[in-house]
């Protein structure tokens, strides 16, 4: 199965990288490597995770307090957001609602 990561999710990863890199040099790269491995696992395990916030599946990252929000069909796993779990759930819901509406208008 092919994995596509939408631009907003890429920006989420970049924000996480910058945050952790400010904490300690090298941790940002470790963050990216870890989250990339989690995202790559979706090629095999897409759909086994619980749904959260509507039709988005929810994969918790193994090493960082982040969640990967995705959908999938027979051809693609689509990653829409990679968000810090420490955020207010209302803000996460609002973000995913925007992703859902953006997808429907495409």
| pLDDT per residue as tens digits for the range 3-40 | 999 999 999 999 999 999 999 999 999 999 999 999 99
What pLDDT, on the 0 to 100 scale, is given for residue 27?
98
Scan for tokens 């994969």, then name that residue. Answer: 59
Mean pLDDT of the chain, nearest integer: 94
Please name which of 81, 90, 101 lies closest in space to residue 16, comparing C-alpha atoms.
Answer: 81
CA distances from 86 to 5, 23, 40, 56 (A): 22, 17, 23, 18
Segment holding 57, helix H or strand E: strand 57-60
* Predicted local confidence at residue 101, as pLDDT: 81
How far is 12 from 15, CA to CA, in rounded Å?
5
User: Does the reported pTM lie above 0.95?
Assistant: no
**2-5 and 76-84 beta bridge pairing:** parallel
pLDDT at 105 over 80: no
Q: What is the pLDDT of residue 103?
A: 67
Mean pLDDT, residues 45-69 taken together: 96
Q: What is the pLDDT of residue 100?
A: 82
CA 93 → CA 7, 54, 85, distances in Å?
Answer: 18, 9, 12
């Amino acid at each position: 199965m092919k994995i596509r990561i939408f631009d907003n999710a890429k920006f989420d990863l970049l924000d996480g990288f910058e945050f952790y890199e400010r904490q300690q040099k090298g941790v940002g790269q470790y963050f990216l490597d870890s989250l990339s491995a989690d995202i790559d696992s979706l090629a095999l395990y897409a759909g086994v995770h619980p749904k959260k916030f509507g039709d988005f599946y929810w994969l918790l990252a193994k090493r960082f307090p982040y969640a990967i929000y995705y959908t999938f069909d027979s051809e693609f796993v689509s990653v829409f957001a990679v968000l810090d779990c420490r955020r207010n759930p209302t803000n996460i819901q609002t973000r995913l609602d925007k992703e859902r509406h953006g997808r429907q208008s495409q």
